[in-house]
Each structure stands twice: as structure tokens, then as C-alpha cells.
Amino acid sequence: MMYQFRLFIARVLVFILLIIQDSNFLLSLAMRQSQDFVSCQPECSPLSRMDEGRNLDKYCDDCCTYNYRALNRLYVNESCEINSTSYFLLNMSHDSNFEVKHRHSCLTSIPGNICNFPRIQHLDLRHNKITQLPKLSCVRELVILRLSNNQIQVLRAGIFDGLTKLRQVYLSRNRIHTIEMGVFHDGLKKLNVITLRENNLTEVDVVWVLGMTHMICLADVRYNKITKLSNKSNFTMDPSKKYGPNRVYLNNNKLRILDTQMLDAIGNPLASLLSNFLYWRFTLMRNPWHCDCRIHPVAKLYSGTALRTLMAAVNGSSNDFICNTPPNLRGQRGLLHQNLSDFVCNITDFCPSGCLCQEQPEADRMVINCQNAGLAEMPKRLPFHEKLFLNFQNNSIGILPELSYMVRIVHLDISDNNLTNISSVFASSADKLKYLNLANNRLKYLPETIQKLLPTEIDLSNNMLICSCDTLWLNDWFESKPHIKNRSNITCSTANGDQRITIDNLQPDEFNCRGSNSVTIRIVLVIFGLLAILLAIGIFRFRFEIMASYHIYILPKMKLKWTPEVPENELEQHDIFVLVNDEHAPDRLWVIENLIPYFDQNFIKSYISFRDGIIGEVTADANMTNIHNSRTVLAVISKSLLDDRLKRFELKESYCHKIKQGNGQLVLIKREEFDPALVNNRHIQAMFRLKQFINADDVDLTEKISLQIDRV
């Protein structure tokens, strides 16, 4: 009897406990339905842009809280067998707010019925074996996605589209090697945490970091294999918009080069980009940074006192990095480096053998040091820069000729060579020359055109100048040139070599240079003088036409007569190089419709930059190389081409190499009517005045081109 009584009491207690448990469950369920998962304080907003940048942690961590108790648990039914499927289990309404926690298991994919639960707000599938991430736009309430420690390899475009409430994405420790365009974009207005650390990324497109116009608390790509920051979509910042601020972790990767040209294109200009970055935090340490001329533009802007002070006030030196190479800068700061002249680039393209070619952006110059390089002549080509500093000391150079880069020389030291001749054109073409050292050479005569040099520091000491009536002008020139150095060592010897005279003491009486008093001689001289003046005026007036006619009609015949036939294996690479403004659609279309079919039908080897250019090469350098490697340059002249500075330079180089130096043919095609004054090259103007061109609408266009080509 006592046993039955006890059993009855136990059953009553169990019943009471079940009632209490059910009431607690219902109460808990009601509370969950009445609470939000994310709660943000409306008054928690930055007072200013600087406040937002300096207190990024505060506005990221303290403004919003996450109440996980407000979510109902959604369970996963899975099987670890091969090719098995998984799905969510539910014993309540699909309209509830859910969280999924299924960690340290064997899921290979997101459960297939996930779209049946659009109100999943927290999805935690860490430490599984998931290999693909599908589009999650159907889970429109998703706030936090945790998929770290899986086996995902690619993030496909659009996987997060429509997730307007998504705030945090955790994808660390996967095998991700590719992030397609359009994964992270500015449409994800609430996304503020992206972690991709410890994956296999080798390249990161800057648009998904820099393109966000709202605050990003964390963009973490640490411990990957990133070697390059790219901008495949050609993203540029809109100056009317505010971007970030953002905390970006790029440390512990393999970044070597800071592509300032790309950053300049994004910021438009670079200073605009850096003004946005004042309130960002970049962690760039522990990368093998190579500090050369490419980081100079950024370092130059950072060197400003006001900017440096503001950067320190906002985020200290967290945006800086440490140089790994070159050896002389190893361990030193990059962006906050003190001596900006340390940032140089050693250039190899077109650098003469045995020489050091170095771009020095802080001094705005290209230094080419060929001292003791064993050169017997001046190089025909050099790396391009508007200011060339050349050191050719201690070589065996005998002639200083006219060369295309002479107009860009600022400093030329050609002392201690075997120099015997200076081109008369040299002085008139060296417009930028500020220093000229010709000391210790074998010069006997100087061209009188050297007097045209601008105020230039000149050293002519220890040469073998000859004193004669023809060199008396040196005395007057010396008096007008206070910058001539070592005057006491500049002497000339008489014809028989028995006397050496300093140029400062050169007198006409010593060489019997007095003129005749004969009236007849004077009259003849006057007549010849007048004729010479008239001839000079005519030549000067039509000098470019005369030079063009000489280069086009006479020089090729002379060269054909005196130049041996070129062996087959030394012929140029192309028959024709087409010089066209490939950025101008009408010009490009005209070439496609009129020239390319003609080339193909006649088996003509041609080079057209927009068709034959190689991705990644420097177009300007490739064009210059192919101009020199082609028999004929066919220039399609239009207003757009004449407005392009680089194309004008290529046109000038084509004339110099093909016409002036007699290395081929330059064929001008006038694609449209334009004012001849637009042609700023006088030689090309002369060709147009001499009607040395073909109209693009000429019915015999191809026949005339063929005739021009056959002349080569």
C-alpha cells in the first residue's frame, strides 16, 4: 500500500514538473518572438569624420549587440557517407527567426532545403568539409555567416546579392584562391566584417575594399599568398562620396610592389585617394616590400608636415610598412621614410650594356651612368625621360652626333674620350642642356653652333684646338660665357704647332686676318652677300620643304648606292607599322575596314598596336620598338592623333628614323580635314605642303600605298 502511494506521489510530481517546463518553454518562445537578434543604439553615431576614424573600435563594437537567445535553434540532419545529402529539421513554424550551429562535423555542402528557412539569421557551419558556397539570396534575413575551417575554393559572383541585413562574414581557414567580381559590393550596406585570413589568395581586387561607402570594421586577408592588388573593373572614387573608414589587414602576405599608378587612377588624383585614407587603418607589415621609385608618389604626399601630423593623430603609423628590399633600405620605413631620394628604380629597357640606368623621381630625372663602359659610340636609344643626366666618362667615343634624345639631355659628361667631332646640329637640338663636359678629348675644332647653347656650364679644357682665323669667334664667345670652366687650361695651337695660346688671349693680328681694301673685292663680296642673304631667306622660308624633299628623294638613293644589301636574316620584323590613335574609335574603325583587309589580301606583315599589342607590356615602348623594326610606317593622321602628345612623339620619331635617317618610308594618310597648324612638327607640315600624303577617301588608296611601299 505504501509503495502504491509513493508511486502516485511521484507521478503527480512529474506531471507538475512537465506543466512548469511547458509553461517556461512557452514563455521563452514568446520572449524570443518579441526580441530582435540585432539591437543598435540610434544615438551611437560619430560626431565627425575624424571621430569616426579615431574611434572605429567604439562604433564597431559598442553600437550594436547580438541577442542569440532571441533565435530558435534549427538542427541539421546529416549523414557522413559519400554522396549523402543533408537537410534542416524543424518542429515549429518556418516564420520563426533561426540560428544554425552545426560545427565540427562532415557537411560537404549547405543543406539543400535552406531556402525553406528564409529567416535564418545566424548560420554557423564552422569546421565542416563544405566545398562550395551557393547563392544565399533566399536567406534574406541572414545577419552572420560563419564558414571558417571548411574547404571552399571559389567565391562566385552574386552569392550575397539581396542580403541587405548581412553584417558579418567569416571565411577564414578555407582553401579560397579566387574571389570573383561582384561578391562584395557597395550594395551590402550593413556588411562590416569580412574575414578571409589563412586562405590561398594570390590577388585581391581593391574594389571590394575601397568601394564601400560605409564603415567597415574589419577586412582581414592576413596570412594568404597575395602578391598583387588589382583593379580589374577600373574602379574610380567619386569625389562627391565618402568612403569607409575601413580597417584592412594585409599583413603576412607576399606583397612586394605598391602600384601607385593604379592608386592614382582610383583616386584621380592620388592626393584625393590619400585624403580618404586619412581615416582608414591599413596593416601592411610583414610583407616583402620592395621600396623603389614606384612608392615615391605616395611617400612624397605623406612627407608633408600637415598630412604626417594628421595621420599620426588618427592612427599613428599603422598605415606604414617596412622595406625588405633593396638591401640599403632593408628594415627602414616605407611611406614615412625621411630621405625620399632613396626611392629609385634601376631601368633595363634600352639601357646600354655595361651602364646603370636609374630613374630618380625625387630629383625628377633619369641618370644613365656609362662611365668606363667600353663604348665606342653614343647609344642610339636610351630609356625615356624628359630629363636625362648622362655620364659617359672614360670611354672611346669619337663623335657626338645628332640623336633623337638630345632634346632631353640636361647634363652630359663626355670627358676623357677620343672625341674629335661634334655635330653642328647638336647644340641647336640640346635645348635643355645645363652642363656639358668635353674635357680631355681630341677636339681640334668646335662647331660655331655651340654658341647657341643656353646658359650652360661648359668644360673644354685639355683638348687639341687649332688657332686660325676660323676660330677667332671663340674669344668673343668666351667673353660672353661666364660659365666656362678651367679657362686657363683651354688653349689652341698654331698650325705648325710651335705655339700654344689661351683662348682668352687670342688676337686677330697674330694670324694676319685683316681684310683686303680692294673696291672690286668689296663689291663682289657685297653682291655675293646679297645673293647669299636672298638664298638664305629662301632656304629659311622653305627649309623644311627642302629638308623633306632631300630626305624623301635624294637620301634613299644615296643610301641604296652606298649601303650593302641587308642579308635576309637581318630584315625588319614587319613590312608596315600602322601609327594610329587606337583610343579614337573612328580612326580604329577606318583601319579595320580599309587597311587590315588590304594587308591580309597582299600577305603584308603589319603591326597594329590595338590588334597586336601584348597585355601587360608598356604600349609606348612596344610602339617605339616596332617603329624601328618595320620597313614602313603608315601614319593615319587625324585631329585626335595630333591632339595626343605621345602619338605626336611617335610621329616625330617615325620621321626621324624612316625619312631623316633613311631607314625606310613614312606614308601619311589624311583621314579627315584639319588645320595644318595643328601639326606641330615642321617636317611633317612640310610633307603636307609638298602634297606628300594620300587622302583616306582616294579611290586609288591601296594602289598608292603599294607604290609607296615598293619604294623601300
The pLDDT, as a whole number, for residue 112 is 86
Q: How many domains does the chain have?
A: 4
50-54, 67-71, 605-609: least confident range: 50-54
Residues 207 and 262 in one domain: yes
Q: Residue 440: name the closest of 412, 414, 413, 416 by CA.
A: 416
How far apart CA 657 and CA 579 sit, in angstroms, is: 14
DSSP H or E stretch at residue 17: helix 2-34
Q: Which of 91-105, 185-199, 665-679 has the highest mean pLDDT?
A: 185-199
pTM: 0.59
* The last residue of a domain, from among 20, 50, 70: 70
Q: Residue 31: what pLDDT?
A: 42
Q: Is the peptide bond before 118 cis (omega within 30 degrees of 0)?
A: no
Q: Which residue from 286, 296, 298 is spatially nearest to 255, judged by alpha carbons?
A: 286
54 and 83 together in one domain: no
For residue 575, pLDDT over 50 is answered with yes
Q: Write down how long the chain is.
A: 712
Asked if 221 and 256 count as a contact pair (C-beta separation under 8 A), the reply is no
> Is residue 25 domain-resident?
no
**Domain identity same for 91 and 239:** yes
Whether residue 7 lies inside any domain: the answer is no
Q: Dig out the grid coordinates for 413 from the structure.
A: 659628361
Residue 596 lies in a domain: yes
The answer to whether residues 564 and 669 belong to one domain is: yes
Q: Based on the fold, state whether residues 407 and 363 are members of the same structural domain.
A: yes
Round to whole Å and give the CA distance between 357 and 51: 47
Q: Which of 277, 309, 334 is the last residue of a domain?
A: 334
Q: Give the pLDDT score at 28.
A: 44
What is the enclosing helix (H) or strand (E) of 19? helix 2-34
Check whether 413 has a pLDDT greater than 90: yes
270-277 helix and 260-267 helix, angle to the nearest 10 degrees: 80
- Residue type at 683? H
Please say if the pLDDT value at position 248 is more than 80. Answer: yes
Stronger pLDDT, 577 or 471, i.e. the higher one: 577
Q: Over 60: is that where the pLDDT of 318 sits?
A: no
Region of poorest pLDDT, from 278-292, 373-387, 527-541: 527-541
Say if residue 35 is in the same domain as residue 78.
no
**Grid coordinates standing for 662?**
633613311
| Inside any domain, residue 532 | no
Q: Are residues 35 and 77 in the same domain?
A: no
Q: 412 and 276 in one domain?
A: no
The grid cell for 204 is 585581391
Q: Nine-digit cell at 49?
A: 569624420
The letter for the amino acid at 419 is: L
Within-domain flag for 527: no
The CATH number of residue 562's host domain is: 3.40.50.10140
State the alpha helices, DSSP H only, in 542-664. Answer: 543-549, 555-562, 585-590, 596-601, 609-612, 619-628, 639-643, 645-654
CA distances from 247 to 283, 284, 454, 678 (A): 8, 11, 54, 51
Q: What is the per-residue burial (b if ≥16 Cβ within 10 Å, else e) of 331-348?
A: eebbbbbeebebbbbebe
Same domain, yes or no, for 50 and 151? Answer: no
Burial class (CB in 10 A: 0-12, 13-18, 19+), 497: exposed
Cα separation, 414 vs 417, in Å, equals 7
Instruction: Return the CATH number at 399.
Output: 3.80.10.10
Q: What percent of the chain has pLDDT over 70?
A: 79
Rounded to the nearest 10 degrees, what angle do helices 619-628 and 645-654 cross at? 20
Listed in sequence order, the residues at least 6 apart from 61 whose beta carbon sits closer than 8 Å to its beta carbon are: 217
Long-range contacts of residues 539-547, Cβ cutoff 8 Å, at least 24 apart: 544/682, 544/683, 544/685, 544/686, 545/686, 545/689, 545/690, 547/683, 547/686
Domain membership flag for residue 324: yes
- Whether 340 is in a domain gets the answer no
Domain end: 305, 334, 363, which one? Answer: 334
Taking alpha carbons only, the member of 630, 620, 709 closest to residue 669 is 709
Same-domain pairing of 162 and 286: yes
Element (H, E) at 294: none
Average pLDDT over residues 57-75: 80
- Looking at residue 84, its pLDDT comes to 67
Q: In this structure, are residues 426 and 402 in contact, taking their beta carbons and an 8 Å threshold?
A: yes
Instruction: State which amino acid sits at residue 45.
Output: S
Domain assignment present for residue 197? The answer is yes
Over 70: is that where the pLDDT of 561 sits? no
374 and 314: one domain? no
* pLDDT mean across residues, the chain: 81
Q: What's the CA gap between 639 and 698, in Å, rounded?
A: 19
Q: What is the dihedral of CA 219, 225, 231, 232, to 10 degrees?
A: -120
pLDDT at 693 over 50: yes
How sure is the predictor about 676, in pLDDT bands with cuts at 50, 70 and 90? confident
Query: 624 pLDDT band (50/70/90 cuts)?
Result: confident
Q: Tell me the residue type at 232.
A: K
Going 348 to 353 to 356 to 361, the CA torsion angle's sign is negative
* Same domain flag for 639 and 668: yes
Using only C-alpha atoms, the chain has a radius of gyration, in whole angstroms, of 39
**pLDDT beyond 50 at 405:** yes
Q: How far is CA 29 from CA 26, 123, 139, in A?
A: 5, 20, 22
Domain that holds residue 356: 345-511
Does residue 279 have a pLDDT over 90?
A: no
